[in-house]
């Protein structure tokens, strides 16, 4: 476990796209795909919007992170808010993610999570990120960020 300090706009994916800027569509058998925007840093995937409107990453494979772009934006807002109000932020990586107990937690539906989900507990929020693990076939890429010590406003 480690405490996180200094985050970008997204705690994972090297901050996400620099800005949302869908460009020329690319077609395949499923329909039209749009690059969501340029990466902030060199990462082994592209941020994409699928033919069905999912926001995700395309590396070795497709990993839909959120059902919509709005879900991605909600997750960014929630990460920012939680990081501001949490008394402690803990990051777990790889197999350590399996040890998280989510009984008594409810999914945060606003993020419309697919590969990435958020969970709300009595005094904490848990973000589970599995997009890189899925897209790059890299199980150690699973990450959980636990924002604990939140009051009613923080939740």
pLDDT of residue 22: 67
Residue carrying structure tokens 């990462």: 43
Angstrom distance (rounded) from CA 72 to CA 100: 23
* 47 inside domain: yes
pTM: 0.85
* 46 inside domain: yes
State yes or no: pLDDT of 70 exceeds 70.
yes
* 31 inside domain: yes
pLDDT more than 70, % of the chain? 86
Q: How does DSSP assign 58-75, residue by residue?
A: ESSSEEEEESSHHHHHHH
* 111 inside domain: yes
CA 137 to chain centre: 17
Higher pLDDT, 61 or 39: 61
pLDDT of residue 150: 95
Q: Residues 89-136: pLDDT tens digits? A: 999 999 999 999 999 999 999 999 999 999 999 999 999 999 999 999
Classify residue 148 as exposed, middle or buried by CB count within 10 Å of its CB (0-12, 13-18, 19+): middle
Angstrom distance (rounded) from CA 55 to CA 114: 9
* 155 inside domain: no
User: Which of 22, 42, 67 delimits the end of a domain?
Assistant: 67
Range of the domain at 94: 70-148
40 and 110 assigned to the same domain:
no
pLDDT of residue 43: 86
State yes or no: pLDDT of 1 exceeds 60.
no
Is the Cα torsion angle 17, 100, 118, 9 positive or negative in sign? negative
Q: Residues 2-20: pLDDT tens digits? A: 333 334 456 788 777 766 6
CA-to-CA dists, residue 102 to 4, 28, 119, 130, 146, angstroms: 21, 38, 8, 16, 11
């Amino acid at each position: 476990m480690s405490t996180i300090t200094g985050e970008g706009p997204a705690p994972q994916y090297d901050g996400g796209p620099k800005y949302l800027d869908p460009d020329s569509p690319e077609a395949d058998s499923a329909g039209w795909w749009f690059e969501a925007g340029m990466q902030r840093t060199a990462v082994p995937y592209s941020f994409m919007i699928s033919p069905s409107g999912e926001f995700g990453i395309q590396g070795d494979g497709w990993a839909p992170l959120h059902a919509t772009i709005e879900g991605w934006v909600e997750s960014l807002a929630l990460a920012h808010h939680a990081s501001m109000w949490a008394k402690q932020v803990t990051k777990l990586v790889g197999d350590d993610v399996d040890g998280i107990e989510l009984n008594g937690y409810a999914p945060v539906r606003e993020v419309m999570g697919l590969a990435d989900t958020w969970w709300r507990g009595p005094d904490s929020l848990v973000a589970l990120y599995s997009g890189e693990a899925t897209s790059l076939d890299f199980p150690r890429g699973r990450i959980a960020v636990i924002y604990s010590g939140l009051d009613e406003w923080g939740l």
